[in-house]
Amino acid sequence: MNRPLSLTRKQFLVPTLRLLLAMSAAAVALTACSNKHAVANGPQSGDQGYVSGDGTVQIYDPDSRAAAPSIAGESLSGGVVNVRDFTGRVVVLNIWASWCPPCRAEQAKLNTVYDAVHAKGVEFLGVDIRDDDAAARAFIRTHTVRYPSIVDDASAIALEFDPRLPANPPSTVVIDRNGRVAAKILGPAKAGVLQPMLEQLAAENVT
């Protein structure tokens, strides 16, 4: 009586185990496929590729500010832009990419602050990293970005700062009127923090 019961279990368990293994393999393959095409542009390593922080701000006292590196690059609108062209003005250097969701959400705030402080001696310069040219130009049109952006395919500009910036966007560096790093924002900038900080920096004297 026991032997027929044993054969019945074997006939049931072996096909069931094979089915479970096949389903597991299919799930792994589906996951790999989804990850492979998760981001059309930008990083392909499986991480999200952008900074999802809360916009932490680090402000430096005037006596402890280090000289900013000489940043220059080809503009998305044509020509070459160099931070040195803005000597004597406050410069907001914003690192972004069209494939970065927080960058899209941040841009409206940056536009608002730019409109409020540009006449007070503040320039904005975008740094577009690891991006597709057509997608980057579409981003500028869609979000009505009125200041220039330079292309940084290799994400090399972040490495120029000491301490270095995150390799992923968005992040922002504020350079004072004397060409020194005055502040850093890791993650999306908040208009209520950025604007008064820029107004205060614009009021400082050039030495």
Residues 99-111 have pLDDT tens digits of 999 999 999 999 9
Looking at the predicted structure, is the pLDDT value of residue 43 above 60? no
Is residue 8 located within the same domain as residue 93? no
The pLDDT of residue 11 is: 47
Question: Which carries the bigger pLDDT value, residue 153 or residue 34?
Answer: 153
pTM: 0.76
Is residue 33 located within the same domain as residue 66? no
Quick check: is 16 in a domain?
Answer: yes
Quick check: is 51 in a domain?
Answer: no
Is residue 89 located within the same domain as residue 33? no
Is residue 101 located within the same domain as residue 188? yes
Is residue 83 located within the same domain as residue 137? yes
Quick check: is 67 in a domain?
Answer: yes
Is residue 107 located within the same domain as residue 18? no
Quick check: is 43 in a domain?
Answer: no
Is residue 100 located within the same domain as residue 21? no
Looking at the predicted structure, is the pLDDT value of residue 24 above 80? no
Quick check: is 207 in a domain?
Answer: no
Question: Which carries the bigger pLDDT value, residue 157 or residue 12?
Answer: 157
Is residue 84 located within the same domain as residue 19? no
Residues 97, 115: Cα–Cα separation, whole Å:
21
Question: Which carries the bigger pLDDT value, residue 122 or residue 54?
Answer: 122
Quick check: is 84 in a domain?
Answer: yes
Is residue 77 located within the same domain as residue 145? yes
Is residue 187 located within the same domain as residue 92? yes
Please state the domain count of the chain. Answer: 2
The pLDDT of residue 30 is: 32
Range of the domain at 191: 56-202
Quick check: is 49 in a domain?
Answer: no
pLDDT tens digit string along 47-102? 455 555 567 899 999 999 999 999 999 999 999 999 999 999 999 999 999 999 99
Residues 66, 198: Cα–Cα separation, whole Å:
18
Is residue 28 located within the same domain as residue 107? no
The pair of three-digit structure tokens given for residue 133, joined into one six-digit string: 């040219």
Is residue 97 located within the same domain as residue 126? yes
